[in-house]
Amino acid sequence: MKRFTLTLGLALALSWLAPAEPARPFSETLPEFEAMTQQLFEKSGVPGMAVGIVYRGQVILLKGYGVRAAGQPATVDADTVFQVASCSKPMTSTALAHLVSRKVIHWDDKITQYSSDFRLSDPWVTQHLTFRDLLSHRSGLPEAAGDVLENLGMDRAQILHSLRFLKPAYDFRAGYAYCNFGYTAAGEAAAEADHKPFEQMMQEELFKPLGMTSASVRFADYQAAPNRASSHLIWKGKTLVTLREPDAQAPAGGVSCSTRDLLRWAQFHLDPKQIIIERSVLAETYRIHATTSNNPANFSASGYYGLGWIPSFDHKGRLHVDHSGAFFTGVRSCVALIPEEEVGIVVVCNAFPSALPEAVKAGFMKMYDDGQSDPAYSNMVGQKVLAALTGMSEGQPTPPPVSGLAGPDDQMLYNNLFYGSARLFRRDGKPWMALAKREFPLQVSGPNQFVYTREPGKYEDITGFTLDVDATGFTAHGLGPDQFQRFELVRMPPRP
């Protein structure tokens, strides 16, 4: 492993000496690329998009397409602020790399060294868990651990506390599961090490040094931006304006910024002369730390994860680092870099489901290598990614509702270790469930059985569930972790 690390570091160092040239000059190929991008955009049905490309320190394309909100005239430009969803992860790891470079933290520092209250279910794992483990999703936490609690309106501290109740999905450092709140725990611990709130730490360690004046990890700042893109859900032929508040998972998905600023950050990673962060520290974020599943964007049978980046190697042996982002309630984004050739692309759009960012990225990379635009190839990549995204966002199958059956008695209170208290009640004669800060309209689907059917654009991860009620509680199927399906009755309604 040491030999591999030294080899990778040497390869990265030598690569800055003689970056390769594109197959044809950009002056010739960019018009073809822009024409293809326009076609992809028009075909997608997405209201708005922005694209930025940088090569050898020069911005060679920075352009907006379409409108900020469906049905409104304001157009997207280079300074329109988008939510970037999980493209926040490599931005957070960049900020943490600055802390490592300044010797505030080290990648292998224990999380409990800074977050003394943080716990996982296994005490030994808790004591040995590092920044490297959380940033590469190899902690043992289940996939999407805690996401459902965010949908229920719980705050960051409540969700991080609840992670201790989850059984590990695999042995520590022996597997991989993409986990927003594991990543968030790393961001919080780093901020504690720097003695600042996470939001302030991101400003001081990343946004200010890079001149990213529009960037923030506060949802309120995104909402206050006068030139911002709304998010949209494309649902059954309609385009619905939606809203996604990601403050709870800000380190993993809370960044909003303009495409101009997103490109500044990409340009920083490609700059061999930047002196803000040690090059060896940044190179560590590009290194493979975990093996993941197949990657539909590059047709690989296996994939990898670094520290906030997805590293891969192409047919020429070049290192690529990239990341995509998605809110199922209306955001898509991607960034892709080839460090040794100082070239990169960022794409953001304001609708889900869409594979437009990956299709545009793939078209650019193929044009860069082959000198020709290839719409068929871009469409093929887009179709594969869209199929994967659609599969991820499909709801739980629920039985059809039936009529003529009674709803729950009013004010029945239940308890669950992971979710807290739940209440079944009636409103205007119809059954409802209150859980955390949310209320769900239910339909009767059988004797003592109720279903919640997905409301388009309302929740990121709650796609529908079924409640089976009995004399001592109820079991929730499809709501969240299987180990916490059971809610126990703690209070019956008062007798009249």
pLDDT in tens, 411-441: 789 999 999 999 999 988 899 999 999 999 9
pLDDT band at residue 204 under the 50/70/90 scheme: very high
Tokens matching residue 149? 């609690």
Residue bearing tokens 């977050």: 115
State residue 13's pLDDT score.
Answer: 45
CA angle 461, 145, 129 (to 5 degrees): 155
Tally of CA atoms within 13 A in the half-sphere of 42 that contains its CB:
6
In percent, the amount of the chain with pLDDT more than 90 equals 77
Reduced to 3 states (helix: H, G, I; strand: E, B; else coil), residue 32 is: helix
Query: For residue 368, is pLDDT > 70?
Result: yes
State residue 24's pLDDT score.
Answer: 87
The alpha-helical segments, DSSP class H, found in 194-236 are: 198-202, 219-224
The alpha-helical segments, DSSP class H, found in 16-151 are: 26-44, 88-101, 123-128, 131-135, 147-151
Domains and CATH numbers, the chain: 2-104+194-393 (3.40.710.10), 412-491 (2.40.128.600)
Q: Which amino acid is at 313?
A: F
CA angle 263, 264, 266 (to 5 degrees): 60
pLDDT band at residue 298 under the 50/70/90 scheme: low
Residue bearing tokens 């494309």: 234
Query: For residue 14, is pLDDT > 50?
Result: no
pLDDT band at residue 209 under the 50/70/90 scheme: very high
Query: For residue 170, is pLDDT > 50?
Result: yes
Q: What does the pLDDT average to over 456-481? A: 92
For the stretch 338-354, pLDDT in tens is 999 999 999 999 999 99
Lowest mean pLDDT among 48-62, 79-93, 160-174, 445-459: 445-459
State residue 60's pLDDT score.
Answer: 96
State residue 474's pLDDT score.
Answer: 95
Q: Which residues, in sequence order, are CB contacts of 139 under 8 Å at separation 6+?
A: 120, 125, 129, 133, 172, 179, 182
Q: Check: CB of residue 427 under 8 Å from CB of residue 411.
A: no
Cβ-based neighbour number of residue 490 at 10 Å:
12
The alpha-helical segments, DSSP class H, found in 318-374 are: 356-370
State residue 23's pLDDT score.
Answer: 84
State residue 409's pLDDT score.
Answer: 59
How much is the pTM? 0.91
User: How many Å apart are CA 173 and CA 180, to the nearest integer?
Assistant: 17
State residue 265's pLDDT score.
Answer: 98
Query: For residue 1, is pLDDT > 80?
Result: no
Query: For residue 193, is pLDDT > 90?
Result: yes
Residue bearing tokens 């076609």: 39
Q: What does the pLDDT average to over 351-372? A: 94
Cβ-based neighbour number of residue 418 at 10 Å:
17
User: How many Å apart are CA 37 and CA 29, to the nearest integer?
Assistant: 12
Q: What does the pLDDT average to over 471-477? A: 94
User: How many Å apart are CA 267 and CA 277, to the nearest integer?
Assistant: 13
For the stretch 119-162, pLDDT in tens is 999 999 999 999 999 999 999 999 999 999 999 999 999 999 99
Give me the chain's average pLDDT, please. 90
Query: For residue 181, is pLDDT > 60?
Result: yes
State residue 150's pLDDT score.
Answer: 97
- Give the DSSP letter string of 428-474: TTEEEEEETTEEEE-EEEETTEEEEE--TTT-SS--EEEEEEETTEE
Q: What does the pLDDT average to over 61-74? A: 97
The alpha-helical segments, DSSP class H, found in 16-74 are: 26-44
Length of the chain: 496
pLDDT band at residue 16 under the 50/70/90 scheme: very low
The alpha-helical segments, DSSP class H, found in 238-331 are: 250-253, 259-270, 279-286
475: β partners: 468, 486
State residue 297's pLDDT score.
Answer: 54
Query: For residue 223, is pLDDT > 90?
Result: yes
Q: Check: CB of residue 329 under 8 Å from CB of residue 352.
A: yes
State residue 458's pLDDT score.
Answer: 87
Cα dist from 86 to 71, 90, 283, 324, 364, whole Å: 27, 8, 20, 6, 21
State residue 179's pLDDT score.
Answer: 97
Q: Check: CB of residue 117 under 8 Å from CB of residue 160.
A: no
